[in-house]
Structure 1
């Protein structure tokens, strides 16, 4: 026996003989959503979707359709800034690069420039600056090889937080040890990803020898090659490793709190060290 035609509950001006298989409310063709058996209304479909557990990454992040989106965006931003530097010249580097200096002018008054002049944005903008093709080429290849798998492991937001905190950690150590040297590049953030990769490989009991050998070679490179900021590398490595420990070993019942608390703690520590460095330069 067929249902008598009634009005769609969402569109009263439309008659229909179809009902939702879950709530039995009448629905018109526009409101019908195909189900395994019959059709369902939009409300029932939405409720079922909310009740279905969403897939999560190892670190508790959401699984995305494009697990490498943030890595692609970071590479794109770095490449765009590189092209800007090539087009506009060294002024972009001096305006956005990392340094902090103070001195006296001909009148005997103190004059400060860079981060020492309150330009704190440099601690982050410097991490997206590159001048030489080999510099950005090596860094972006490393970011893709190390960052893309790590983004899939962490999820977008945790991965982005790790990257930015690592960059700030690298900038903090640069300002503490070599504030007068103009420093730029994504290496500090990438070293943070190296450290995080080692932490998660340890957490998941993978063979750590490949990442440890790669990390050791990069550390040796940092201290032996000329014009390489070992301070930025080691600062980023320390910040990334500390952050990753919180991300990887957070207890399940308080995972988000511990993870974001760790990110915030390392961020605050980096900013405090930056403040100490600026105070030393300006004193």
Structure 2
């Protein structure tokens, strides 16, 4: 077993991951545990060993599967969904690089409100009924630097968040945040300026991470500093970034993340997925209203 250590502010390190300071302890053995290791119990959180062994009480371990902080099922690979999302983005980027077909592929699936597109006989965009663009644009990227930065951010932020929420809740957060970003881009951006990238969804993960860290009494300064740096890049005209998608994703992630992490235990799933449904309803309403304005 690895020894724990104290960080600069006196917080101990997780007993399984000493480099991760945490303010949460197992309610049975009182060892410090990070979000990846904590398992939701009837009171507080427990470490994986106490869940498996029944904490040496002599009773057989319960048949109930251990749960994550947000009530999801603890998976053997807590980062699987993040790996799949990265793989899909990389595969789509390879297709984008394939010459003329890649250009048409990008033109067909990038985020676009309403505009003529070379190679198509009619105007293209969400206003023409191509709502799928709200989703597909989340998996396309505009160059090597763009995809490298986004995939590194997704791995760094997404992995620990997936472990804390569970696969289903994490996936819901990712897509709802991405759709919120696409909807705000559709509402506010110029309709003849296409946008693409996973940044909206990733900003949603930033927002949910801030909510999670606040819930666990972690030091918020690192994630706030990283978010501020990203926002500086977002609003710098030199980078030509679709700030609407970033802000929409961030707001969506904050709302869904709060619902996921602070939902009361007795009706947790109802509240969590109800919040997701409300944000999706706002997305649909935004798209319908904007489409009516354009058409």
User: Shorter-chain-normalised TM-score: which range?
Assistant: 0.7 to 0.9
Q: Which has the higher strand share?
A: 1
Residue aligning to 1:196: 208
Is the CA contact 2:233–2:239 (under 8 Å) kept in the aligned structure 1?
A: no
Residue aligning to 1:277: 290
Aligned counterparts, 1:29-40, within 5 A = none
Following TM superposition, by how much is the alpha carbon of 1:75 offset from its aligned partner in structure 2, in angstroms?
A: 0.2
Q: Secondary structure at the match of 1:113?
A: coil
Residue aligning to 2:31: none
Q: Secondary structure at the match of 2:75?
A: coil
1:76 to 84, 87, 90: 87
Following TM superposition, by how much is the alpha carbon of 1:81 offset from its aligned partner in structure 2, in angstroms?
A: 0.2
2:254 to 222, 232, 241: 241
Unaligned ranges ≥5, structure 2: 1-59, 117-121
Bigger-Rg structure (1/2): 1
Is the CA contact 1:102–1:116 (under 8 Å) kept in the aligned structure 2?
A: no
The reply on whether 1:148 has 2:159 as its aligned counterpart is: yes
The reply on whether 1:53 has 2:61 as its aligned counterpart is: no
Following TM superposition, by how much is the alpha carbon of 1:89 offset from its aligned partner in structure 2, in angstroms?
A: 2.7
**TM-score, length-normalised on structure 1?**
0.77
Following TM superposition, by how much is the alpha carbon of 1:113 offset from its aligned partner in structure 2, in angstroms?
A: 2.4
The reply on whether 1:206 has 2:218 as its aligned counterpart is: yes
* Distance of 1:275 and 1:127 partners within structure 2: 20
Q: Secondary structure at the match of 2:153?
A: helix
Is the CA contact 1:101–1:112 (under 8 Å) kept in the aligned structure 2?
A: yes
Residue aligning to 1:16: none
* Distance of 1:203 and 1:175 partners within structure 2: 33
Write the deviation string for residues 208-263 of structure 1: whole angstroms up to 9, x where unpaired: 11111111111111001431110010000011111001001111111111001011
Residue aligning to 1:165: 176
Following TM superposition, by how much is the alpha carbon of 1:280 offset from its aligned partner in structure 2, in angstroms?
A: 1.6
Residue aligning to 1:65: 76
The reply on whether 1:137 has 2:145 as its aligned counterpart is: no
1:251 to 244, 264, 269: 264
Moved more, 59-68 or 271-280: 271-280
The reply on whether 1:175 has 2:171 as its aligned counterpart is: no
**TM-score, length-normalised on structure 2?**
0.74
Moved over 3 A (4+): none
2:274 to 256, 261, 269: 261
* Distance of 2:212 and 2:229 partners within structure 1: 19
* Distance of 2:248 and 2:94 partners within structure 1: 27
Is the CA contact 1:139–1:190 (under 8 Å) kept in the aligned structure 2?
A: yes
* Distance of 1:253 and 1:262 partners within structure 2: 16
Write the deviation string for residues 107-151 of structure 1: whole angstroms up to 9, x where unpaired: xxxx65211110100000001011311111100000000000100
Moved more, 264-273 or 64-73: 264-273
CA RMSD of aligned residues (A): 1.7
Following TM superposition, by how much is the alpha carbon of 1:50 offset from its aligned partner in structure 2, in angstroms?
A: 11
